[in-house]
């Protein structure tokens, strides 16, 4: 129990390794705890697999540090892949909050991936977080008539941007990111985002056999639907277990190398690690339909 405190988290990591003899650690959830624990694991040669820490700096600590949730900018690539392939978009505008590393990073990677895939960026506009009036950026965007507007914002700003764009006459599609994942999104946006899509890590309705098996088993054991923390925690454990099976030893260097080479089909989709020990994995595309978040598709990462 790290108590959401970096000092407590570091103590828990040390106790797990030095007292309990941990040979690998699945955790932590919060990036600030993972950033406190990762140097401890790295120094002691104990592989660590975080389920949900998305701060890019976590895996930069060293070669014993992994994660199973994709990092924030990776969403931009997946959104561009979906927009080009499934939606058939050829032009897009980007809207994002300036000064927000999360929003800026996703918008930049969307722009790069969309243009690399043959699309054209009609506009790339930023705004202040929590702004109320977006007319100055939306009017010129709407004049370019893009196939879609990619809104790289948290749900509150995304709802405001979409609602105002509709008021100004935009009738095209909106595509967004996991920051949209809040029940407040639809309440704030009204019907403005009906039929829109956003990228997320997973959805309980994702229609793959592995996903359905996991959800059924979880409901049988706990009597409720699994959430994102549950599925990512499960995947972190699976990665460690598969690494142990492959390595055939608990030796730190061998286990580290085996985890790095892991390729699996997990509830969230196809999974492997890149050279920086971040996941190359599928993403869920969520559609907003009748005011509900429904699974629409699973989009696989481009294979090079």
pLDDT in tens, 153-174: 999 999 999 999 999 999 999 9
Q: What's the average model confidence in pLDDT over 116-143?
A: 96
Residue 176 and residue 152 in contact, taking contact as beta carbons nearer than 8 Å:
yes
Q: What is the pLDDT of residues 51-110, one digit of tens each?
A: 999 888 999 999 999 999 988 888 999 999 999 999 999 999 999 999 888 899 899 999
Q: What's the average model confidence in pLDDT over 122-136?
A: 95
Q: What is the pLDDT of residue 187?
A: 95
CB atoms within 10 A of CB 125: 18
Q: What is the pLDDT of residue 302?
A: 67
Q: What is the rounded CA–CA span in Å between residue 64 and residue 48?
A: 6
Q: What is the pLDDT of residue 299?
A: 86
Q: What is the pLDDT of residue 76?
A: 93
* pLDDT for residue 301 is more than 80: no
Q: Binning pLDDT at 50, 70 and 90, where does residue 303 land?
A: low
Q: What is the pLDDT of residues 6-34, one digit of tens each?
A: 999 999 999 999 999 999 999 999 989 99
Q: pTM value? A: 0.81
Q: What is the pLDDT of residue 228?
A: 83
């Amino acid at each position: 129990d790290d108590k959401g405190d970096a000092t407590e988290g570091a103590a828990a990591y040390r106790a797990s390794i030095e007292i309990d003899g941990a040979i690998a650690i699945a955790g932590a959830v919060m990036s600030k705890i993972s950033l406190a624990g990762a140097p401890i694991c790295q120094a002691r040669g104990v592989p660590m697999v975080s389920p949900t820490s998305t701060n890019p700096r976590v895996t930069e600590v060293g070669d014993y540090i992994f994660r199973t949730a994709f990092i924030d900018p990776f969403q931009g690539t997946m959104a561009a892949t979906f927009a080009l392939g499934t939606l058939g978009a050829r032009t897009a505008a980007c809207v994002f909050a300036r000064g927000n590393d999360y929003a800026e990073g996703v918008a930049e990677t969307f722009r790069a991936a969309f243009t690399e895939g043959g699309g054209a960026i009609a506009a790339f506009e930023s705004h202040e977080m929590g702004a109320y009036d977006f007319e100055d950026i939306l009017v010129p965007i709407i004049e370019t008539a893009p196939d879609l507007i990619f809104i790289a914002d948290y749900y509150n700003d995304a709802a405001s941007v979409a609602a105002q764009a509709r008021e100004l006459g935009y009738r095209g599609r909106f595509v967004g990111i996991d920051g949209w994942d809040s029940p407040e999104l639809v309440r704030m946006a009204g019907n403005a985002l009906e039929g829109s899509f956003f990228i997320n890590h997973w959805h309980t309705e994702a229609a793959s056999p592995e996903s359905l098996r996991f959800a059924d088993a979880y409901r049988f054991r706990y009597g409720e639907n699994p959430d994102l923390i549950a599925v990512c925690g499960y995947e972190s454990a699976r990665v460690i277990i598969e690494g142990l099976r492959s390595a055939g030893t608990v030796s730190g260097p061998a286990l580290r190398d085996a985890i790095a080479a892991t390729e699996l089909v997990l509830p969230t989709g196809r999974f492997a690690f890149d050279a920086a020990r971040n996941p190359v994995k599928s993403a869920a595309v969520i559609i907003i339909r009748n005011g509900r978040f429904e699974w629409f598709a699973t989009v696989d990462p481009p294979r090079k």
